[in-house]
Amino acid sequence: MKRHILSALIIGLIAAAIVMGLHVSGLLLRPELVIKNLLLRHATTTRSLLDQMHYPFVFILAAGVAWMTLATNRRGRLALMVGVLLLELAGVAWVCSLYHVFFQPLPSVAGVTLGFLFPVALIGFAGVMERRSLRPPREPRVPREPAAVPVAPVYERPAPRARRGDAVPDSVAKTYEVTAVVCDIADKHDLAEECEPAVFAEITEKFIAHAIEAFRAAGAYVESVGGEGVVAIFGFPESDRQHAEKATRKAMALTQSFTDSNKRTKIEALANAGIHAGVSSGTMIMAPLKNNGQRAMLATGEPVELARRFCIANRFYGSKVLLGPRTFELASKILVARPIDFLSGVDVRERHEIYEPVVLALEASRDEITRRDAFWNGVVLYREKRWAEAYSQFQKARGPEGHEDRPLQLYLRRLEPLALQLTDTPLDA
């Protein structure tokens, strides 16, 4: 924070000096006269503010805008706020002209513009320099010495090319708006008890390879890989406004593609294995780490912890993918999803509503949307303890014969004894 304030003050001084130089040199004289004639066309007597009074005002505006630009990652929204501020400066000049006071908005407008553009250019330049510094140095080519005895050539497998998911983009800690996806083998604890260790290791290895390839192909940053699943982050290292949509699409596709890829396997346990995924959006801190001279990236924040909880919750509800409320809000336009339940967050006092994506909106049929609406109504009525009405709505949410819907079956099992009790209990006269 202190570093941002110091940088903003320096940028404010530079912007004020530039505006002062332009003003003293007369380069702003012609546009200032045009503005003055427009504002004072019908005025008879007018007081003008001294030119020296503009310079402190320009410094304050430029420094304030520079500080906000340096302190936030949402510079697109900030650009809109800067545009509104420029319009307000023009409005102040017009209001002052009504009271026969001339306020020249041009220096202030120039200060606000420079206060926004300088930090943006500085951040962009710093990012380019950091990416260059992270490139490994080229090793000098050493000429081969001729061999005394001809030998058979040895062919080595070329090293894999670095991919976007392996990049470490910055050398300073920053906050990012991202979506985290945590995926793991469905019912892996039961699977580990049923299978031989070698078979379970082979299933895990194939799952990890499949997940990493899918996430990297989608441009995600693979944060960690291990026995607790694969963690991928969308919206990092390059910011992306559609990070929630892309993460949800990939989570849904991954659960299906892994099942399809194992249909022809001879290992029965692998053919029946599936994937669970949890998706959560929010702010995370990404910070570089050095371990024995090797660069790594620390990713910490609530989205990963919540996504892991959602991933585990699939085992209870029978779903494959569960979304947090923020992800559902950002990706709801492309999804047909339904509410499932509330889960406690990192803080036990917090409760997060989780949603299950049913199908992509562009691929949804009328019947799927109708059944989703009936399920949604059933959840609302269930929370209001209107058991009979909720049971009726859940019955309408049933799919065609043979269609397995475990979350629906869970609610029906909960409601059947309650609905039967209400049916058998006579109403009081």
Q: Is 84 helix (H, G, I), strand (E, B) or coil?
A: helix
The DSSP 8-state label assigned to residue 219 in this structure reads T
How is the chain split into domains, by residue range? 2-128, 169-364, 365-429
How far apart, in whole angstroms, are the C-alpha atoms of residue 366 and residue 175?
Answer: 41
- Dihedral angle computed from the Cα positions of residues 308, 310, 315 and 318, in that order, rounded to the nearest 10 degrees: -150
pLDDT per residue of the chain (429 residues) written in tens, 0 to 9? 555 677 778 887 887 788 777 767 767 666 766 666 666 665 554 555 555 566 777 788 878 887 787 777 666 777 888 788 878 777 776 777 666 666 667 777 877 888 788 877 877 776 566 555 444 445 445 445 444 444 444 333 343 333 444 444 555 778 899 999 999 998 888 888 888 888 888 888 989 999 999 999 999 999 989 888 999 999 988 888 899 999 999 999 998 888 888 777 777 777 778 899 999 999 998 888 776 666 777 788 899 999 999 999 999 999 999 999 999 999 999 999 999 999 876 666 778 999 999 999 999 999 999 999 999 999 999 999 998 899 999 999 998 887 889 999 999 998 988 766 665 555 443
Q: Is 226 helix (H, G, I), strand (E, B) or coil?
A: strand
Which residues fall within 8 angstroms of residue 417, CB to CB, at 6 or more apart? Answer: none
CATH hierarchy code of domain 169-364: 3.30.70.1230
Q: What is the pLDDT of residue 395?
A: 93
362 within 8 A of 323, measured Cβ to Cβ: no
Q: What residue has token string 């702010």? A: 283
